[in-house]
Amino acid sequence: MASKTIMLVCAAGMSTSMLVKKMEEAANNKGLEREIFAVSTTDADDHINNEDIDVLLLGPQVRYKKDEFEQRASGHNIPVEVIPMTDYGTMNGENVIKLAEQLMSE
């Protein structure tokens, strides 16, 4: 079982699947046990309310929903941040894992 759970949210939950794989590789290379998955904005609430999420990362295409997700996640003490466009565009799993780890340690 993963010690921490990272949820990525994008418009349809599909465009982040390649980034999830890259993040899993980066986490494994660092010896980190992480569950990383992607969902659509419409499915995110179910996961926020029913699962133990440690950090929520938004895809750049839904950055305009950050305030909305911060409100939803605040009652669950889940930090929310937007994945930087350059890291998302280049599928830089290592940088996105660093971002998630930083948010979970604050």
Q: What is the mean pLDDT of the chain?
A: 93
Q: What kind and span of H or E run contains 79? A: none
pLDDT tens for 18-64 read: 999 999 999 999 999 999 999 999 999 999 999 999 999 999 999 99
Give the pLDDT of residue 28.
96
How many Å apart are CA 29 and CA 12, to the nearest integer? 28
Burial 67-85 (b: 16+ CB within 10 A, else e): eebeebbeeeebbbbbbee
pTM over 0.85: yes
Give residue 16's pLDDT band: very low, low, confident or very high (50, 70, 90). Answer: confident
Q: How many helices (H) and strands (E) does the chain have?
A: 5, 4
Give residue limits of the domains in the chain. Answer: 4-105
Residues 4-105: name the CATH superfamily.
Response regulator (3.40.50.2300)
Taking the chain, what is the end-to-end CA distance rounded to the nearest angstrom? 23
Residue 49 catalytic?
A: no
Share above pLDDT 90 across residues of the chain, in percent, rounded to a whole number: 89
Catalytic choice (7, 8, 10, 39): 10
Q: What local confidence, expressed as pLDDT, does residue 60 receive?
A: 96
